[in-house]
Amino acid sequence: MGLNVYLSGEIHTDWREQIIDGAQGLDITFNSPVTDHDASDDCGVAILGEEPNKYWHDHKGAMVNAIRTRKGIADADVVVVRFGEKYKQWNAAFDAGYAAALGKSLIVLHGPDHQHALKEVDAAALAVAEQPSQVVVVLRYVLTGKLPG
Amino acid sequence: MGLNVYLSGEIHTDWREQIIDGAQGLDITFNSPVTDHDASDDCGVAILGEEPNKYWHDHKGAMVNAIRTRKGIADADVVVVRFGEKYKQWNAAFDAGYAAALGKSLIVLHGPDHQHALKEVDAAALAVAEQPSQVVVVLRYVLTGKLPG
Amino acid sequence: MGLNVYLSGEIHTDWREQIIDGAQGLDITFNSPVTDHDASDDCGVAILGEEPNKYWHDHKGAMVNAIRTRKGIADADVVVVRFGEKYKQWNAAFDAGYAAALGKSLIVLHGPDHQHALKEVDAAALAVAEQPSQVVVVLRYVLTGKLPG
Amino acid sequence: MGLNVYLSGEIHTDWREQIIDGAQGLDITFNSPVTDHDASDDCGVAILGEEPNKYWHDHKGAMVNAIRTRKGIADADVVVVRFGEKYKQWNAAFDAGYAAALGKSLIVLHGPDHQHALKEVDAAALAVAEQPSQVVVVLRYVLTGKLPG
Amino acid sequence: MGLNVYLSGEIHTDWREQIIDGAQGLDITFNSPVTDHDASDDCGVAILGEEPNKYWHDHKGAMVNAIRTRKGIADADVVVVRFGEKYKQWNAAFDAGYAAALGKSLIVLHGPDHQHALKEVDAAALAVAEQPSQVVVVLRYVLTGKLPG
Amino acid sequence: MGLNVYLSGEIHTDWREQIIDGAQGLDITFNSPVTDHDASDDCGVAILGEEPNKYWHDHKGAMVNAIRTRKGIADADVVVVRFGEKYKQWNAAFDAGYAAALGKSLIVLHGPDHQHALKEVDAAALAVAEQPSQVVVVLRYVLTGKLPG
Amino acid sequence: MGLNVYLSGEIHTDWREQIIDGAQGLDITFNSPVTDHDASDDCGVAILGEEPNKYWHDHKGAMVNAIRTRKGIADADVVVVRFGEKYKQWNAAFDAGYAAALGKSLIVLHGPDHQHALKEVDAAALAVAEQPSQVVVVLRYVLTGKLPG
Amino acid sequence: MGLNVYLSGEIHTDWREQIIDGAQGLDITFNSPVTDHDASDDCGVAILGEEPNKYWHDHKGAMVNAIRTRKGIADADVVVVRFGEKYKQWNAAFDAGYAAALGKSLIVLHGPDHQHALKEVDAAALAVAEQPSQVVVVLRYVLTGKLPG
């Protein structure tokens, strides 16, 4: 058994690298959204033409990014969604809902202060973790049946 | 043609009433989550037994509420998701993602200051409105083909 | 057995009225797109705000109309798509492809000079007719097993 | 992440070659309909027997071509549909509708003068481009997260 | 609980009437193909135009009949397929396979001498009966939980 | 909003009646398997012919009962599965798995001593109750948003 | 593009070998049912235990064979169903219906004297051939776009 | 043709090893749940944090194990479910129901004394065996068409 894992959500810390590094040696394919903030914001107009209106500027970019996001989630066995300390991160919650409706196994990663606000998202998850290292251990256990220690 | 419309999201203003009142006379069935904040938070433990740990308190309630939410979205032709000025509202974005993955027609309702933060959610929508009255006009047009004025 | 029939395509002649009138007395629910050309073109900006760019003007309208079109096709047992003599009518062919992918029974209605250009669309159909009256007879036969004369 | 891309529509210019050449080095599998116009028109009768009636001649060919087209779209993550300057091209719009109903990511490629006629097709797309080179840049960005320049 | 039952297969005896009569008083909606043999054979050309070639004559009729058959099976909870003593009855076996793939509850009705030839069809069924009266008793039991006597 | 609720599992106590009685006045349609133990065991051979081998005797009955069970679960929004104190009750756990795979909202009803043995079943549920009266309160809350007291 | 092709139906002539030989060099994976008649008939009882009743003897074998048949059809892009001159061949028609309901591309192979009896099966097909060599040419054309000569 | 086989159920005997050993040389990928009883019970709290309440201790573990179980069943062509002599084994019956609803080919493995209690589970199966060696022979026959001896 191998796993395809999509890493959604917060892009301002190195949690993706921590998980990917920690999971070395396991049969896992990782995918992620584009995490270059400027490229992600501007891809639509940079490729398909400028928009004077900021709404359509954002819209064109969000649509292009959706090609990658939908493919990433559709291919995934497990979707990990990380909620950071800042920003609205509605796209993370949207991805979680999207993944849940498709029946993907959902792992949610967030600090304890977000527990109440994320209770509906957590309720759709098979694991709720606080640290990227816990996600690594979950993935290793799922693939090998081994617990640390 | 009749419509089944699910009204998801913000529960602190009367936007649902405005839409339901405005749509009187149209062949629309409206459904909503439980909007009594205390009941929604406490339903799990009130019915199925107390939990000393706040996380499981929240969890039990979120699970019971999911029975209603899933049914409401599954039955809907159109899902309207309202984002208010305050709070994280991750459950609203989760519902939007869930509805999008099921192929529901999505209408997003929010003020102009949330445009950038909601660009991925808006990109999955067939209409983005700022006022509940606009949602009413969209629904009337969809059912009757008539525009105001 | 009753039928839900969606009438897609050309909006410049009275073919829908001919079919609906001819089918009186049969247990059929008919749905159609908005056939008021101006309302259909302008609904997006009229409800959700003006757009100086004609592309986004059209886009907003097409999205709002899609709420009705998707519902109409999703509910249908039979989708009738009419191609007239003029215009590109790409939305008609799009609806035909959309309906075919959903497994709907497709009836295509067009004159003999379009046979070659529509061969891929016709190949997805269960009936290809030239006259609205033939569609009526097909629907009556499907419901009652009776042929005329 | 790799992509499977189906290139549907106009067969009279070299837009497919431009995209495939431009995308060299990317992990993309391209598929297309048969673009030999005569073979595509005559395959049915050439293999399965002559038909004196032109309608059935066309029909037999369209059915055989559908084996390839359906497989191409079913396997695709992204469907690019090109509308050229001439002809009805209803098969292109049909493919776009078919792909949209299956939830494929749709990229539409056409000149600015077709914007109004294609508004319903564009409304189902995640990107609308005028040049094959833009499609290449979209695909490169989706796979690598890199924008040119 | 009510049931929608589609009665497929042999059209030369009164087995459908026996089942419908026997099931009076039960909450069952019955549907069937067109059982007028001539109308069924000729509906295509009678409505959509003559065909000199017998193959296309048959084809046009089979396509029109498929509108009714697909609807009947799609709506059904239970599909009863009757194999008589004569003829190839490949359409009956085709309907059985079609219904099985859609997950419909299948009841097969045939005499004992067809057991070996129908073993693959029977293997997909939830009940195999020899007499229409047994089908009635199965349906009554399913709806009421009551056995005769 | 109304609900369709399937009551699966233990047939030796009056828990179904308690739930149905307690839910009077709510817009709920209840369905159940046949709860007459002898009829359920013998329906296959009673209708379709005796079997000397007990395995096939049981098999024929289980198949006929599956017509009702599948319909009941397929139509349900909520599946309640009750595990009693005695017997293996593998059919109850089978129904729970079947309902979970179809995405039905699952409510599991059992005493505290079965918690460990049912942990995988409970993990697929949105509510785990010990008393039929709790199920009634869950259903009332889901439909009305009201908690007792 | 490669193809997965399932070869269903008649097992008394070498039509499968003709197709597989003719298709050498093409990127096609072929699957078939077990074509050893005795093994196919007896596999159930040979492995899982004798049955004195011929019906259950047949039934057990048909069920074991269904493991292979279902897998073969589920994996297929194209299902070729061959009807020979003799026998009822209801399993072939059942496979055709099963494949059609799953949206597989269907090629039917039979002599001209079966045209009327197979009209419903042919109506679900994308190609109807009389000779195995024609099936080879269809498959070659679908994969390469080349016609012979 | 290769097969993906999931081995569900009883974890106290070496039946999985018997099947995997016996199937050497066949093109089969086997998957299983975690069969280390302690790891399976404690994985949730070991990775995601202790729970003083045994119910939530079990729940967290069951959720983490579900990531593996769901993937294993989703990927499988064939699900073998073994019921041993002891324990409730409700998770085995749950897996059988889950697999049946997904349309997987089900093989049930149990001793003769469980026939009556497992009649609903057996009724959903394509093969019912008493010995692991019989499962091996079924799998070999499905892949090669060869019977022993």
Q: What is the pLDDT of residues H111-127, one digit of tens each?
A: 999 999 999 999 999 99
Nearest to B65 by CA among B98, B32, B97: B32
Considering only CB atoms, which chain C residues are within 8 Å of B129?
47-48
CA–CA separation, B42 vs B48, rounded Å? 10
First vs last C-alpha separation in chain F: 23
Considering only CB atoms, which chain C residues are within 8 Å of B78?
67
- The answer to whether B62 faces chain A, any CB pair under 8 Å, is yes
| Residues above pLDDT 90, as percent of chain A | 97
Nearest residue on chain C to D54, judged by CA atoms? Answer: C116
Average pLDDT over residues C94-112: 98
The set of chains that have 3 or more CB pairs under 8 A with E is C, D, F, G
Question: Are residues C123 and D94, on separate chains, in Cβ contact within 8 Å?
Answer: no
Residue C23 confidence (pLDDT) = 98
CA–CA separation, B134 vs B129, rounded Å? 6
Question: Are residues C64 and B146, on separate chains, in Cβ contact within 8 Å?
Answer: no
Quickly list H helices, C76-116: 90-101
Residue G110 confidence (pLDDT) = 98
Confidence of residue G77 (pLDDT cuts 50, 70, 90): very high
CA–CA separation, F140 vs F133, rounded Å? 11
Quickly list H helices, chain C: 15-22, 37-48, 54-75, 90-101, 119-122, 132-144
Residue B65 confidence (pLDDT) = 98
The set of chains that have 3 or more CB pairs under 8 A with A is B, C, D, H
Report field, pTM of the whole predicted structure over 0.95 = yes
Sheet containing strand F127-129, edge to edge, reads: F28-31, F3-9, F78-82, F105-109, F127-129
Question: Are residues B142 and C64, on separate chains, in Cβ contact within 8 Å?
Answer: yes
Nearest Cβ partner for F47 among E3, E125, E137: E137
Alpha carbons within 13 angstroms on the beta-carbon side of residue D133 total: 4
Average pLDDT over residues D33-38: 96
| Residues above pLDDT 70, as percent of chain A | 100
Confidence of residue A87 (pLDDT cuts 50, 70, 90): confident
Radius of gyration of chain E (CA): 16
Chain B / chain C CB contacts < 8 angstroms? 59
Average pLDDT over residues B6-25: 97
How large is the ipTM? 0.97
Name the token pair of H40. Answer: 């399976």
Residue G103 confidence (pLDDT) = 97
pLDDT mean for each 10 residues of chain E (149 residues): 97 97 98 97 97 97 98 98 93 98 98 96 98 98 95
The mean of the pLDDT values for chain G is 97
pLDDT at D142 exceeding the cut of 90: yes
- The answer to whether E56 faces chain D, any CB pair under 8 Å, is yes
CA–CA separation, G140 vs G22, rounded Å? 9
- Between the CA of residue A37 and those of A7, A87, D145, what are the distances in Å? 16, 14, 10
Are the C-beta atoms of residues E126 and F63 closer than 8 Å to each other? yes
Nearest residue on chain F to B48, judged by CA atoms? Answer: F129
CA–CA separation, F85 vs H39, rounded Å? 28
pLDDT at A149 exceeding the cut of 90: no
Tell me how close the Cα of E36 comes to any Cα of chain G, in angstroms.
16
Residue F112 CB: number of other CB atoms within 10 A?
A: 9
- The answer to whether C84 faces chain D, any CB pair under 8 Å, is no
Tell me how close the Cα of H121 comes to any Cα of chain B, in angstroms.
27
The set of chains that have 3 or more CB pairs under 8 A with H is A, B, F, G
DSSP of A108-134: EE--GGGTTTTHHHHHT-SEEESSHHH
Nearest to E40 by CA among G123, D63, G100, C136: G123
- What is the pLDDT tens value at each position of chain F, 149 positions in all? 999 999 999 999 999 999 999 999 999 999 999 999 999 999 999 999 999 999 999 999 999 999 999 999 999 999 999 999 888 999 999 999 999 999 999 999 999 999 999 999 999 999 999 999 999 999 999 999 999 97
Chain F / chain H CB contacts < 8 angstroms? 121
Chain length of chain C:
149
pLDDT at H87 exceeding the cut of 90: no
Contacts of C27 (CB under 8 A, 6+ apart): C1, C2, C3, C143
Residue H30 CB: number of other CB atoms within 10 A?
A: 18
CA–CA separation, A37 vs A45, rounded Å? 14
Considering only CB atoms, which chain B residues are within 8 Å of A62?
119-120, 122-123
- Signed CA dihedral, C85, C88, C89, C95: sign only: positive
Tell me how close the Cα of H32 comes to any Cα of chain F, in angstroms.
15
pLDDT at G17 exceeding the cut of 90: yes
Q: Does D contact F via 3+ CB–CB distances below 8 Å? A: no
